[in-house]
Amino acid sequence: MSVPIVIAGTTFNYPTSGESPNWAEEASAFAVAVGEVLNTLLAPGDILQTSFTIDNNISSETNINGLLFDSGIVRAANITYAVYRTSTSNPSGYAETGSIYIVFDDSAIDDNKWKITQSTNGSSGVILTMDHNGQFKYKSSDIGSAGYSGLIKFSARTLSKI
């Protein structure tokens, strides 16, 4: 007896163990449909939730490892992030969450190819920027080095170039 499984509105009669007749065609169609759905969940260029340590009192732009976009495949992205920093002198912490929207313009001059809009809630004392290569960077204020801890978590959904 087969089991009906619905993927993206299409019903597949998936075989159970040892069943007759040959179910290869139905099983293959099911696997293809599952692959197509999974590909919509994680596109090339997407970034799953990632953590990166934010150092205290950084005055020169420093790379955020893992927060990088390839202009060869990414047209636009929606980045969601949260920053939390604490120290002995600031035990209640500095917290910020936000969204950054980026779009790549092939016809713009090199330093203006990435267009950025940022929306924030809170203030962490961290300034986020992006270079012309698609690499995000940060600077951070001094909130006290004793007992310092700083972390950014981020994820991104991208739209590929057409």
Structure token pair of residue 12 = 């597949």
Q: Which domain CATH number covers 134?
A: 2.60.40
153/83 same-domain check? yes
Range of the structural domain that residue 130 is part of:
47-160
Q: What's the confidence (pLDDT) of residue 11?
A: 82
11/72 same-domain check? no
Q: What's the confidence (pLDDT) of residue 12?
A: 78
- Indicate the pTM of the whole model: 0.79
Residues 12-24 have pLDDT tens digits of: 777 776 666 666 7
Region of residue 65 (phi > 0: left; psi between -120 and 50: alpha; otherwise: beta): beta
110/94 same-domain check? yes
Instruction: Give mean pLDDT, residues 75-93.
Output: 96
Total domain count, the chain: 2
In this structure, of 33-47, 63-77, 108-122, the range with the lowest mean pLDDT score is 33-47
80/21 same-domain check? no
